[in-house]
Structure 1
Amino acid sequence: MKKFIYPSIFIILFFILLYLFYPKTIENGIYVKTTNGKYEILNTGKSIHIRSTSNSLEKYQVINCTYNFFKTYNLEIQIPIKERIMVKKENSYELEHEGSVALDTSSYFYKIDENNEISLCTSKDLIVGKENIETFYNKNGFLQTFLIYPMNYSKMRVAISDNSFKSIYHENLTIKCLEDTKLINYLENKELDLPKDSLLTVTYNTESILITTDKEPYQFDKRTYLIGTKFTINEITRGWPKFNADYTDTLELYPTPKGIILINELATEEYLKRVVPSEMPTTGGLDSLKCQAVAARTYAISDMLNNRYAYLGFHVDDSTKCQVYNNTPLKDLTTQAVNETEGQVLLFNNKPIDAKYYSTSSGYGADFNNIWFRLDSDPTNIPYLTTNNFMESKILKPMSEEDWLNFYKNEELQSYDSLSPYFRWKINFSQSELVEIFKKSLVYNFENSREYMKIFANGKEKNDFPTELSELKDIIVLERSEGGNVIEISFIFKEVTINIRKDNNIRRCFNNGADIISSTINIERRDSSQLELWSTLPSSFFSVEKKENNFTVYGGGFGHGVGMSQYGAMYLSQNGYKYNHILSIYYKDTELEKLY
């Protein structure tokens, strides 16, 4: 029996000694505090306690060291890289001064909050272009550890689109410096002083840019900055009548495989002074403009936090994909609205909300999930963006399809939005016109949103788009939200039936583009004005009436119908409502707070 006991004891002792003396390493450990002679270190997302040393450490310093049960040695304090991260890609980040650096396969992100408490977070919490980040390499030269401190929201990075707002990529630009300007390229160690009224010709050349001044040309392969106070760009005109907008603070020229991305980095409040007049007329008065300023500020910051464009290096663009920026000259009243709400945002659960807004309601607003949804996911819970009633006429809410048709046909109804020309609208189509339109628009939906389309022939679902569409027999609404927007619609042809789901897909089925149909079909608005050029229905709040071989689409509202109706806010402002009250009507249970 003894001959079995002794070897077992030796094995146990061996493993005990191995545990006590075997050296372990910590790479990019974050010092938290010292308690009872031990350091508390955060490493790879876990808390480790090791023997303290004579080193004097500051809270959240990052260290490398070796340790065992008895001691800690070879302790080295790591020097952070305090550079902005300009672009976030899946496997690499672009540092402002060091360029593109690969990420470690296991990178760790830590957030330090306003109370100086640290917690593990994710890469989503790292916002491009901000100066609140400390970054640390590992021994293999990869980016591994990130400390993210409280962020300053007072600057925005805006991508500038081309004239048509269709692309953020540019081939040729002519930039005029309206004040003394400094041209800087950190990665290529180049700096130039450009006097007032300098004219720069910028040309894209296969992932590089050629900048020609009045003296000589300069070739750059990396991000180049123009830091001044005001610029104009000859090739970019905005608004009607057309004008060359000015851009303040900093312009960045970022060469990519698709062209130059032009980014305007400027103070958030200056950005808003150019968004509010571009998004809302001044006729509603100061309080409606304050609503727009708060909504636009909240929307922009929410977009920034969502990292939608982090892989391209900006927070928002200047089009309707985000918010229209610099499409209207500055106005005194809109500037006043921005100034008097400086830093104010709407919060829900202490986070900036997704402050969606649109032009005109039909009398009802939609739930977020009635407009934006994915077939393969559960509904998104956004309590402040729910179905809303903006009617002032005392009517029973429509329940049947006949009720909804009569609702959209009724131009005498009174709501917060009834002064908008888009409160009610209609479009007349012949059967042949719709067949001509659908032959192209339904193919587009099939190619771009196949998952939201079902095709039936001879009672069976088909995978291929039909070779021929003929004789449109009827258009039937299959599903409608509580607020009245169409969620699913069916186009019934002689040989085939095609069902379409989701707001944008449904609206673009009725495309009046010149490349779609040869005849001219107008939208007739409530004030009898005619809209000739359009490519999508004003909203998905509509019904269809068929009479013999003609179809009339009767609709209400302009835009997606979620959040704040701008015409409604203008009406309430004109009737004495203050902006905080108006915002509480459109964004339920949110809090208006000053963020900076």
Structure 2
Amino acid sequence: MEQSVKKETLLVLNRMEMEDQTVLVTNQGDFYTKLQNTYFTDWMSYDVYIKEDQCIGIAQVSEQEQTIENAYLKSCQDEKISFLFAGAVYEKELQERWISCEPGVCDLVFRDGALTAIKTKQDIIQGQMLSYDDSEIEIEDYGRIHHNGKLPVYQTYGDVSEKSISDVVLGNMNVAYVTAGKEVCAILILQPADIKNIRVLLLSDDGTNIRSDVYLKCSTNANITCGDETKSAGSEELLHPADTLTMAPGKTYIVKPESEDGKIYLCNGNGTAVSNGYAGTIEVHSTENGYTVVNELPLEEYLYAVVPSEMPSSFSPEALKTQAVCARSYVYMQLMRADLAAYGAHINDSTSYQVYNKVEKTKESVAAVDATCGQVLT
């Protein structure tokens, strides 16, 4: 079906000439045009006709205010402003002296080529990012918060730069979220990742990401959290997260053993364990088609149950050490990829990544992981 022509008002930030056309860099994105470059002036607004990603005509110079949303203001001193937007740094001489502004996320308003307002955004929350998709971010202690899909990510330590949301290492990074209304409008990476934990999506028996139902039990007493509610569960008590999640849509059901050596088991409806025990926590989230189950635990503890699942513990100590280093190196690579971010996980427990906890940890696997602690291939 042929795309219709739309009339839009755009603020031109930059123009890049190509062989047979010009790229207009604007506050609404990049558009190609075969119109003469001289028809446009940087920092001016235009009413234009847009078809897909092409600017096919100009109606007039616009006198309307146009906003650059969620830019990162680097500096505003005297008669010059510097800001980061859509991966580029812009500097503009101002027509009048402005009061110095602190760096941060803001909306910049322009009219007739001049800056008319700086609207700073100061509502910020902090927490580990647990998952994200095209419309929501799950934040530790806050739950799921909406975003509009256009979500800039700024690294604020060192030289301020723009990153991708995939650069946020789930569960292992100090992150701040700039909010407006009930939405997240920008993400600030405050520090480098401090890799301690890994989040593993536990696949169903038929190898899919979604389970039709979930039953759990813990070898020790456990704390159960869902949203703002926390309760206790006894050792070996059969847990059915669906009973709670039905009354708390959009929330995550989290099981955490009270004892550090406590293990969580997947069970059938009769309470019989159908898995080996999992260290760390288990998170259950409801979806339209069922439930996802994620195991979060310390990375080295995870490796204890990867090494014997990938290589028999009867192999030589040196072979097991090599396996441990390879497994750790692979994990670090996957932590940076965020393949399963929509499920709140870095990897799953199958051969698609690394087989995990199909064989319980052994004294040999623990020794191999401990002997190579922190070692990765470079």
Decide: shared fold, TM above 0.5: yes
Residue 191 of structure 2 is aligned to residue 146 of structure 1: no
Calculate percent identity across the aligned residue pairs: 23
Instruction: Specify the code of the residue in structure 1 equivalent to 2:133.
Output: K
- Closer/same/farther in 2, CA of residues 49 and 72 from structure 1, 3 Å limit: farther
Residue of structure 1 equivalent to 2:252: 223
Deviation of residue 272 (structure 1)? 0.5
Residue of structure 2 equivalent to 1:341: 372
Post-superposition Cα deviations, 1:561-595, rounded to whole Å, max 9, x if no partner, equal xxxxxxxxxxxxxxxxxxxxxxxxxxxxxx2xxxx
Residue 220 of structure 2 is aligned to residue 179 of structure 1: yes
Note the residue ranges of structure 1 that are not aligned, 5 or more in a row: 1-14, 204-208, 212-216, 237-241, 347-590, 592-596
- Closer/same/farther in 2, CA of residues 304 and 253 from structure 1, 3 Å limit: same
Residue 27 of structure 1 aligns to a residue whose secondary structure is: strand
TM-score using structure 1 length: 0.45
Alignment partners' CA distance in 2, 1:190 and 1:168: 26
Residue 225 of structure 2 aligns to a residue whose secondary structure is: strand
User: Which of 291, 297, 314 matches 1:260?
Assistant: 291
Residue 376 of structure 2 aligns to a residue whose secondary structure is: strand
Residue 222 of structure 2 is aligned to residue 190 of structure 1: no
Alignment partners' CA distance in 2, 1:70 and 1:169: 53
TM-score using structure 2 length: 0.68
2:70, 2:152 within 8 Å by CA — same for their partners in 1? no
Residue of structure 2 equivalent to 1:82: 126
2:78, 2:98 within 8 Å by CA — same for their partners in 1? no
Deviation of residue 112 (structure 1)? 4.7
Q: Which range moved further: 147-156 or 257-266?
A: 147-156
User: Which of 351, 375, 378 matches 1:320?
Assistant: 351
Alignment partners' CA distance in 2, 1:62 and 1:125: 19
2:77, 2:100 within 8 Å by CA — same for their partners in 1? no
- Closer/same/farther in 2, CA of residues 261 and 111 from structure 1, 3 Å limit: same
Alignment partners' CA distance in 2, 1:292 and 1:301: 14
Residue 84 of structure 2 is aligned to residue 42 of structure 1: yes
User: Which of 157, 160, 168 matches 1:126?
Assistant: 168
1:303, 1:316 within 8 Å by CA — same for their partners in 2? yes
2:77, 2:101 within 8 Å by CA — same for their partners in 1? no
Post-superposition Cα deviations, 1:151-181, rounded to whole Å, max 9, x if no partner, equal 222211111234x462343344432233342
Residue 81 of structure 1 aligns to a residue whose secondary structure is: strand
Deviation of residue 191 (structure 1)? 1.7
Instruction: Specify the code of the residue in structure 2 equivalent to 1:89.
Output: D
Residue 314 of structure 2 is aligned to residue 283 of structure 1: yes
Residue of structure 1 equivalent to 2:211: 170
Alignment partners' CA distance in 2, 1:95 and 1:284: 42
- Within a 5 Å distance, the mapping from 1:126-525 to structure 2 comes to 126-137=168-179, 142-148=183-189, 149-162=191-204, 164=205, 166-186=207-227, 189-194=228-233, 196-197=234-235, 199-202=237-240, 209-211=242-244, 219-221=247-249, 222-228=251-257, 229=260, 230-233=262-265, 235=267, 244-346=275-377
Instruction: Specify the code of the residue in structure 2 equivalent to 1:224.
Output: Y
- Closer/same/farther in 2, CA of residues 343 and 42 from structure 1, 3 Å limit: same
Deviation of residue 288 (structure 1)? 1.4
Number of residue-to-residue matches in the alignment = 304
Deviation of residue 131 (structure 1)? 3.8
Residue 87 of structure 1 aligns to a residue whose secondary structure is: strand
Instruction: Specify the code of the residue in structure 2 equivalent to 1:160.
Output: L
Q: Which range moved further: 65-74 or 33-42?
A: 65-74
Note the residue ranges of structure 2 that are not aligned, 5 or more in a row: 1-43, 45-60
Alignment partners' CA distance in 2, 1:259 and 1:252: 14
Residue of structure 2 equivalent to 1:493: none
Alignment partners' CA distance in 2, 1:218 and 1:166: 25
2:76, 2:98 within 8 Å by CA — same for their partners in 1? no
Alignment partners' CA distance in 2, 1:293 and 1:277: 10
Post-superposition Cα deviations, 1:391-429, rounded to whole Å, max 9, x if no partner, equal xxxxxxxxxxxxxxxxxxxxxxxxxxxxxxxxxxxxxxx
Residue of structure 2 equivalent to 1:352: none
- Closer/same/farther in 2, CA of residues 24 and 304 from structure 1, 3 Å limit: same
Alignment partners' CA distance in 2, 1:309 and 1:274: 20
- Closer/same/farther in 2, CA of residues 98 and 243 from structure 1, 3 Å limit: closer
- Identify, as 1 or 2, the structure richer in helix: 1
Deviation of residue 109 (structure 1)? 2.7
- Within a 5 Å distance, the mapping from 1:29-108 to structure 2 comes to 29-33=71-75, 38-49=80-91, 53-54=98-99, 57=102, 59=103, 61-64=104-107, 66=109, 75-96=119-140, 97-104=142-149, 106-108=150-152
Alignment partners' CA distance in 1, 2:164 and 2:106: 21
Residue 125 of structure 2 aligns to a residue whose secondary structure is: coil
Deviation of residue 273 (structure 1)? 0.8
Residue 199 of structure 2 aligns to a residue whose secondary structure is: strand
- Closer/same/farther in 2, CA of residues 118 and 84 from structure 1, 3 Å limit: same
Residue of structure 2 equivalent to 1:489: none
1:135, 1:145 within 8 Å by CA — same for their partners in 2? yes
Alignment partners' CA distance in 2, 1:46 and 1:102: 22
- Identify, as 1 or 2, the structure richer in strand: 2
Residue of structure 2 equivalent to 1:11: none
- Closer/same/farther in 2, CA of residues 234 and 335 from structure 1, 3 Å limit: same
Deviation of residue 129 (structure 1)? 3.8
1:165, 1:319 within 8 Å by CA — same for their partners in 2? no
Instruction: Specify the code of the residue in structure 1 equivalent to 2:357.
Output: N
Instruction: Specify the code of the residue in structure 1 equivalent to 2:125.
Output: I
Alignment partners' CA distance in 1, 2:231 and 2:299: 27
Residue 203 of structure 2 aligns to a residue whose secondary structure is: coil
Alignment partners' CA distance in 2, 1:53 and 1:185: 48
Alignment partners' CA distance in 2, 1:31 and 1:126: 21
Instruction: Specify the code of the residue in structure 2 equivalent to 1:146.
Output: I
- Closer/same/farther in 2, CA of residues 142 and 44 from structure 1, 3 Å limit: farther
Residue 30 of structure 1 aligns to a residue whose secondary structure is: strand
Alignment partners' CA distance in 2, 1:71 and 1:243: 64
1:88, 1:128 within 8 Å by CA — same for their partners in 2? no
1:245, 1:329 within 8 Å by CA — same for their partners in 2? yes
Alignment partners' CA distance in 1, 2:247 and 2:80: 55
